[in-house]
Amino acid sequence: MNVERRTVLKGLALSSLAGIAVTSSCLSMAGSVLGAQAQPVLPTLVLVNNEVAESVFLQGVNASPGGKQVKVQRTDLSLDFILGFEKRLRSGQPQRIIGLVDDASAALIVDLARSAGARVQWLGQHRATPHASQHRLLSAEAASGCAPQLGLSLNACGSGFSLTEQRMHSLQAPLQASATARNRDSSDQWAATLGYTLAALGTTSDRQAPLIARRPVPLTGNFVSFSIEA
Amino acid sequence: MTEQNNKTLLPRGVDSANFEQAIAKFRKLLGDDNVLVKDDQLIPYAKIMMAVDNAEHTPSAAVTATTVEQVQGVVKICNEHKIPVWTISTGRNFGYGSAAPGQRGQIILDLKKMNKILHVDPELCTALVEPGVTYQQLYDYIQEHNLPLMLSFSAPSAIAGPLGNTMDRGVGYTPYGEHFLMQCGMEVVLANGDVYRTGMGGVKGDNAWQVFKWGYGPTLDGMFTQANYGICTKMGFWLMPKPPVFKPFEIKFENESDIAEIVEFIRPLRIAQVIPNSVVIAGVLWEASTCNTRRSDYTSEPGATPDAILKQIQKDKNLGAWNVYAALYGTKEQVDVNWNIVTGALKQLGKGRIVTQEEAGDTQPFKYRAQLMSGVPNLQEFGLYNWRGGGGSMWFAPVSQARGSECDKQQALAKKTLNKHGLDYVGEFIVGWRDMHHVIDVLYDRTNPEETQRANACFAELLDVFEKEGYAVYRVNTAFQERVAQSYGPVKRKLEHAIKRALDPNNILAPGKSGIDLANSF
C-alpha cells in the first residue's frame, strides 16, 4: 500500500489526540512501502561520525529489511576519507549511501554526491536534546511517506519532537508535525527510528524499528541525515 | 513572481509550454543524462546555508555541458525561450550561496564536467583550466608531473576550483593569494553566443595569452567577475614557483584588544614584502572550531557565548585571542634575513608569542594553516560548521584599510551586533597588501526557525551598521545580493544595468547576480 501523506498526517493528529499508550514503535505498517515504490535492494553504505557510531542509530539500521548486509564507515574531515568517498561515488556501481553525521561532514558528502551526479532522496537536519528532537527535512517523491512515518512513530513512542518536511517542487505546504514528550525514556528513540526509516526507504517494510531502552547518555546535538543513490 | 503550474516549478516569466520546449531542446543538445529535472536529482543543488527558505533558491532544472559549443547551444536555447540560467563551476561557494540558483526557478548550468587542465607551463609558471577543474585535481597534476610549482587556494581547497574562486574574487593564503590579480586570460561565452577571449586571446597564432594580461584597448576581464555578462569557459592564471625554503609561523596574542597593535605590526612587513603572503589574523572561535571544538562542549545555554567561556577555550586549546599566521618563502639566505626582521619587529612590539613549525609539530590548527600557506589542500576549516551546528552559515566579509584602528572598530562593531542577536563572533582578518578582508562566519542553527530568523535579521543589521560607518562587503551570499548592490550607489548600478541591456537584452544570464537584473528599474 502506498503511504498517503495526508492520511498519515490525519492519523498522527488522531493518535496524538487519543493519547495512545504505546508498546511498540508502530513503525510497522504491514506490507507498506517506505518511499514511492519498492526498489531493488542495492548494496548500502552507512556513514556515521564517531558520536553516531556509538548511538542507537545503527540499531535502527540493522533492524530494517536488509539491515544486516550494510557496510558501516566512519566519516571525518580528512582528505583520505573525502577522496575515497568521491572514488566510490564515481565507481559506476549502483549503491545506496545513507547516514547520520555532523554538519561539516554532511556539507562535504552531499556536495560530492551532487558533483558525482548521484540522486538524493532525503536530506534531513536534526537537533536533539535529552527532552526533544527537531527534524527539518527536504525530500523527493522517492521518499514519500517516510517523513510522516517518522513523525507517526516518534509520536507513538511518546517522544517529544517537531518535524518539518519540504518536498522539492511540491505545491503543498510543508508538512509540519509536533508532539510533546510523554515518555521520558524515549529520548534516544529518534535516532533508532531515523536509522530504520532511512535503511528501509524504498523497501517493503514489515518489520519494526527497535524500541530503545533508556540510555545513560542519549545522542544529542546537531546532525544531518541523507539517503543517496549513486 | 515565479511561475508555477500544477506540475512543474517554472522560471520567472516562463510558461509551461516554453519550459517544456526548452527542456526538449536541452535533451537533444546535451543528451538525457545531462538534463536533470527530477526532484532527487535537484535536491543536492538545493542545499543552502543561508537564513532563508530553501524554496527561494530551488532550481527548476539543471543541465550539464561538456564543451564550449554546448554552452553556446544552451545560451541559444535560453534566448529562444527566455530561460534564466544560473551558471556554476564546481558549485563549492560555501558560505556565499553554494550551488543553488540566486532566484527560485532559474535553471542551473553546471560546468562540473568541463574539467580539463588544458595547459601548465612549468617555466613560465602559468596554467589554463576549464571551470570544473578542482584545486585537488591541479595539485595532483603538479605532484604527478613533479613540477616545481605551488598553488594558492581558499580554505575548501581540495574541492573548490580556481576558475570559480577567481570569478568570485576569492582569496588564498600564499603570496599569490589575491587570485584575480594572478588571473591572466579568460574565454567567455557571451549571451549572444559569441566566444570572447580577453587580453591576447583574440590574436590569431598568439602564444602570450597566459603571460600578458592587457592586450590592446579596453581590458575587460574584471567586468566578467562577480557579474552576469558572460559564462567563463576557460581561465588562465599564474602559479608561484615553489620556493626552496618555506617557513610558516604563528604569533599568538593574548587579548582581544591587541588587534590594533597586531595590524600596525604586520602592515609595514606586508607592504614591504618581508612577509609576502596573505597573512591571517584568526579570532579564538575560528581557531577553536577548526580544531574540533564545539560550543556544546562548554555550554548549552542559548545566545552568544560569554567572554569567560571564550577565555576558557583559549586556555584549554592553547590558543591566542588572536592568532597570526604568516610564512617566509625563498632561499635559505632570504628567509633568514626576513626572519630576523620579523622577530626584531615583534621584539619591538613587546607582545606576542611566536610558534614555529618545529614547535607546533602536527597540532591543529597550525598544521592546516601551514598547508594552506604552502599550497597543500585540506578540508580542516569545515570544522567551523560544527561549532554551533545546524547547518547555517553566511559569510559577512567587509573590507577595510589595513590600519589597526579600522580593524579594532570593525571587530567591535561586528561582535556587538552578532552578540545582540545571540550569535557569536567567529572571524578572521586576511591581510592584503594594503587592505583587510574581514571574514566573519555567521553561524546559526537552521533546525531552529527562530534562530534562523534571528540570523537573517543579524546579517541585515550587520550590513546596515557597517554601511553607516562607510564599510561594505566585497562578496555576499545570494540572498543579500540586491541589498549589497545598494551600498555601492545608483550610478554604478545604472552603468551595470546599461551594460547588461547591451550584452544580454533577454536577461537570461544569472539575473540578480550582484544585484544586476533587467527586471530592476535602472
Which triple of cell numbers denotes residue B205?
597564432
Nearest to A136 by CA among B54, B212, B513, B191: B54
Query: Which chain A residues have a beta carbon less than 8 Å from that of B378?
Result: 79
Q: Which of B8, B37, B39 to mutate to test the interface with A (most CBs of A within 10 A)?
A: B39
Taking only the tens of pLDDT, chain B with its 522 residues reads 444 444 579 999 999 999 999 999 999 999 999 999 999 999 999 989 999 999 999 999 999 999 999 999 999 999 999 999 999 999 999 889 899 999 999 999 999 999 999 999 999 999 999 999 999 999 999 999 999 999 999 988 789 999 999 999 999 999 999 999 999 999 999 999 999 999 999 999 999 999 999 999 999 999 999 999 999 999 999 999 999 999 999 999 999 999 999 999 999 999 999 999 999 999 999 999 999 999 999 999 999 999 999 999 999 999 999 999 999 999 999 999 999 999 999 999 999 999 999 999 999 999 999 999 999 999 999 999 999 999 999 999 999 999 999 999 999 999 999 999 999 999 999 999 899 999 999 999 999 999 999 999 999 999 999 999 999 999 999 999 999 999 999 999 999 999 999 999 999 999 999 999 999 999
CA distance B307 to chain A (A): 22
Summarised one tens digit per residue, pLDDT across range A127-177 is 999 889 999 999 999 998 889 989 988 888 888 999 999 988 777 788 999
Q: Give the model's pLDDT for residue A216.
A: 75
Residues 6+ apart with CB under 8 A from A13: none
For residue B295, give the 3-state DSSP assignment.
helix
Q: Give the model's pLDDT for residue A50.
A: 94
Read off the pLDDT band of A38 (50, 70, 90). Answer: low
Read off the pLDDT band of A21 (50, 70, 90). Answer: very low
Contact B58 A168 (CB under 8 A): yes
Q: Give the model's pLDDT for residue B521.
A: 92
- In contact, B391 and B384? CB cutoff 8 Å: no
Q: Give the model's pLDDT for residue A41.
A: 75
Q: Is the pLDDT reported for residue A5 higher than 60?
A: no
Nearest residue in A to B296, CA atom: A221
H or E segment and range at residue B211 = none
Q: Which of B33, B44, B378 sits opposite A79 (nearest CB)?
A: B378
Q: Which of A107, A134, A136 sits opposite B94 (nearest CB)?
A: A107
Beta strands in B296-363 (DSSP E): 322-330, 353-356
Nearest to A52 by CA among A225, A228, A227, A229: A225
H or E segment and range at residue B59 = none
A225, with CB counted inside 10 A (0-12, 13-18, 19+), is: buried
Quote the DSSP letter at residue B433. S
pTM of the model: 0.93
Cα(A156)–Cα(B434) distance, rounded to whole angstroms? 62
Q: Give the model's pLDDT for residue A40.
A: 64
Contact B386 A168 (CB under 8 A): no
For residue B358, give the 3-state DSSP assignment.
helix
3-state secondary structure A127-142: EECCCCEEEEEEECHH
Q: Give the model's pLDDT for residue A14.
A: 37
Omega prior to B365 cis, within 30 of 0: yes
Query: Which chain B residues have a beta carbon less than 8 Å from that of A139?
Result: 43
Q: Give the model's pLDDT for residue B8.
A: 75
Nearest to A129 by CA among B120, B390, B55, B442: B390
Nearest residue in A to B92, CA atom: A111
The answer to whether B197 faces chain A, any CB pair under 8 Å, is: no
Cα(B381)–Cα(A152) distance, rounded to whole angstroms? 38
Contact A113 B44 (CB under 8 A): yes
For residues A96 and A169, the model is more confident at A96
Q: Is the pLDDT reported for residue A31 higher than 50?
A: no
Q: Is the pLDDT reported for residue A23 higher than 60?
A: no
